Structure 1
Amino acid sequence: MKRILVTGGAGFIGSHAVDAFIQDGYEVLVIDDLSSGSDANLNPKARFECTSIDSARAAETLRAFRPEAIFHYAAQIDVRKSAADPVLDAQLNIINSLRLLELGLNNGLAYFAFASSGGAIYGEPQSGPQDETHPERPCSPYGVAKLSIDKYLASFHHYRGLKSCSMRFSNVYGPRQNGKGEAGVVALMIGQGLKGQPLRVNGKGEQTRDFVYVKDLARAARLILRHQPQGVLNLGTGIETSIAQLAHILQERFAVPPGISHAPAIHGEQFRSVLDSTLAKKVIDWEPVTRLGHGLQETTDWFSSLAPAAPRPQKHIRVSQ
Structure 2
Amino acid sequence: MKVLVTGGAGFIGSHIVDQLLETGHESIVVDNLATGDERFLPKEVPFYRVDIRDEQLFDIVRTERPDAVIHQAAQSSVPFSVDQPLGDADINIHGTIRLLEAARQCGVSKFIYASSAAVYGNPQYLPIDENHPVNPLSPYGISKFTPEYYLRAYQDLYGIPFTILRYANVYGQRQISKGEGAVIAIFLERILKGEPLRIDGDGEQTRDYIHVSDIAAANIAALSRAENQVLNIGTGISTSINELVQLLKKVSNKPISVSYGPDREGDIKHSYFDIDGARRHLMFKPKVSLEEGLIQSLDYLLQNRVLLQRGTAVTEL
- Taking structure 1 as the reference length, the TM-score comes to 0.91
Looking at structure 2, the residues matched to 283 and 258 of structure 1 have their Cα atoms a distance apart, in angstroms, of: 41
Q: Does 2:80 correspond to 1:85?
A: no
Cα shift at 1:43: 2.2
Whether the aligned pair in 2 keeps the contact of 1:122 and 1:137 (CA below 8 Å) is yes
Distance 1:306 1:262, change over 3 A: farther
**Number of residues paired by the alignment?**
308
Q: For residue 22 of structure 1, give the secondary structure of its aligned residue in structure 2.
A: helix
Residue 312 of structure 2: aligned partner: none
Distance 1:107 1:256, change over 3 A: same
Residue 242 of structure 2: aligned partner: 244
Cα shift at 1:253: 3.1
Could you list the structure 1 runs, at least 4 aligned residues long, displaced by more than 4 angstroms after superposition: 180-183
Residue 97 of structure 2: aligned partner: 98
Q: Which runs of 5+ in 2 are unaligned?
A: 309-317
Cα shift at 1:289: 1.6
Cα shift at 1:160: 1.7
Whether the aligned pair in 2 keeps the contact of 1:156 and 1:162 (CA below 8 Å) is yes
Cα deviations by residue, 1:99-155 (Å, 9 ceiling, x for unpaired): 11011110121110001002x011222211111001111101111111111121112
Looking at structure 2, the residues matched to 20 and 221 of structure 1 have their Cα atoms a distance apart, in angstroms, of: 9
Map 1:158-237; keep pairs closer than 5 Å.
Answer: 158-179=156-177, 184-237=182-235
Distance 1:283 1:258, change over 3 A: closer
Looking at structure 1, the residues matched to 298 and 102 of structure 2 have their Cα atoms a distance apart, in angstroms, of: 40
Cα shift at 1:73: 0.2
Whether the aligned pair in 2 keeps the contact of 1:238 and 1:276 (CA below 8 Å) is yes
Percent identity for Structure 1 against Structure 2: 39
Whether the aligned pair in 1 keeps the contact of 2:57 and 2:102 (CA below 8 Å) is no
Looking at structure 1, the residues matched to 59 and 306 of structure 2 have their Cα atoms a distance apart, in angstroms, of: 42
Whether the aligned pair in 2 keeps the contact of 1:233 and 1:280 (CA below 8 Å) is yes
Looking at structure 2, the residues matched to 24 and 213 of structure 1 have their Cα atoms a distance apart, in angstroms, of: 19
Cα shift at 1:263: 3.5
Q: What's the Cα RMSD here?
A: 1.8
Map 1:104-183; keep pairs closer than 5 Å.
Answer: 104-118=103-117, 120-179=118-177
Looking at structure 2, the residues matched to 276 and 230 of structure 1 have their Cα atoms a distance apart, in angstroms, of: 19
Residue 32 of structure 2: aligned partner: 33
Cα shift at 1:21: 0.9
Distance 1:77 1:258, change over 3 A: closer
Cα shift at 1:272: 1.3
**Letter of the 1:92 counterpart:** I
**Letter of the 1:184 counterpart:** A
**Letter of the 2:132 counterpart:** H
Looking at structure 2, the residues matched to 58 and 159 of structure 1 have their Cα atoms a distance apart, in angstroms, of: 22
Distance 1:23 1:255, change over 3 A: closer
Residue 294 of structure 1: aligned partner: 292
Whether the aligned pair in 2 keeps the contact of 1:115 and 1:166 (CA below 8 Å) is yes
Q: Which runs of 5+ in 1 are unaligned?
A: 311-321
- Taking structure 2 as the reference length, the TM-score comes to 0.92
Q: For residue 230 of structure 2, give the secondary structure of its aligned residue in structure 1.
A: strand
